[in-house]
Structure 1
């Protein structure tokens, strides 16, 4: 999905330019159809319980993959397409998911402790009961995501987009939400002890001082 949008946008931009020079900002082609540790990496791949610790899965197409209970500790998933993937109870401790596409992914009860999710696209992702302690979610997009009962202790959510995000009974103790956008988010029952909300847009549209 991300590549298709990028191509369309790129086409529109080129249509309005007089130069025919190729764009230098084109995204890398996603990789698929190869094996890592004996597992085939491709869209919809069956990787339930797979041991992919430390694997280099950057720029891979794993959209709709079945990764339930997979071990992805320390894995490199930068720019990977995991849209709609099943990551229920997966272990993503210390994984690098910078700019990854996790739209509508199932991350219920997943372990994302210290995971890097900078600029990650997590629209409609289900992170119910997920462990995001110390996770880096700087500028991540979590619009309409379900983070109910998630543990975000010490997480960095600076400038994150949390429009309509469900944070029902989420633990945001010590979390940094500086300049985050929480407009229309559900914070009912959320723990906000020592949470940094400086400059954050609150659910009612007001700016926290």
Structure 2
């Protein structure tokens, strides 16, 4: 992400900044409001396709300031939202396939029915997020904090959950019951067979066993 040079530098998250396709460099959105989230709030109801938009974090300007934003049904396929602050954001029924949300803050976010297939959610902060009915098939949730998240009817086929904090996460089905085989999404090899009805405990125990094995 680079600022436009028009005599004076226009910074990301400020009015008149251009946000581009991270693959092609084509213009997707020019910030029209003082608050970046207001520009997106206007664009989404107009069915603006925000696929591939580069909203990634930078050392100087930080992640996208989108706390409390209203992005219901937003199209953010392959968007770069690394490090974005989406705390308490509403993105119900949104399409975020293959989006980069590494280290994003999604605490208390409303993500019901969101498509997050193949999304990068490594080390994302998602405590208390509402993910009921969301599709997380093949997503990478390594190290993600899902404490107290609502995962009822959530699809997690092939998702990477190693290192994730699932304490208090809510599930309505039996997919994590004792005897469930959790597999490598690439090879199909069984990584873990649950020994209890609490996946968080089984994952924690598995990590401890691997650490002991490496030390020995």
The equivalent of 2:13 in structure 1 is 32
Which residue, out of 28, 36, 44, partners 1:42? Answer: 36
Query: RMSD over aligned Cα, in angstroms?
Result: 3.1
The question of whether the paired residues in 1 share the 8 Å contact of 2:181 and 2:193 is answered with no
Where do 1:113-128 residues align within 5 Å? 113-128=117-132
The equivalent of 2:100 in structure 1 is 96
Structure with higher helix content: 2
Task: Give aligned pairs, total.
Answer: 164
Structure with higher strand content: 2
Deviations 1:40-62 (A, max 9, x none): 36245513444110001112111
Distance, in Å, in 2 between the alignment partners of 1:168 and 1:90 is 22
Tell me if 1:152 matches 2:156.
yes
The question of whether the paired residues in 1 share the 8 Å contact of 2:52 and 2:77 is answered with yes
What 5-or-longer segments of structure 2 have no aligned partner?
A: 1-10, 20-27, 57-62, 185-189, 210-216
Q: Structure 2-normalised TM-score? A: 0.66
The question of whether the paired residues in 2 share the 8 Å contact of 1:175 and 1:195 is answered with yes
Q: Which structure has the greater CA radius of gyration? A: 2
Compared CA separation, residues 140 and 176, structure 1 to 2 (3 A): farther
Q: Structure 1-normalised TM-score? A: 0.68
The equivalent of 2:5 in structure 1 is none
What 5-or-longer segments of structure 1 have no aligned partner?
A: 1-29, 178-193
Tell me if 1:57 matches 2:55.
yes
Give the C-alpha shift of residue 69 in structure 1: 0.8
Runs of 4+ in 1 over 6 A off after TM superposition: 198-201
Where do 1:1-209 residues align within 5 Å? 31-33=12-14, 34-36=17-19, 37-38=28-29, 40=31, 42-43=36-37, 45-46=40-41, 47-48=44-45, 49-58=47-56, 59-169=63-173, 171=175, 175=182, 196-197=192-193, 202=198, 207=205
Q: Secondary structure at the match of 2:192?
A: coil
Compared CA separation, residues 201 and 92, structure 1 to 2 (3 A): same
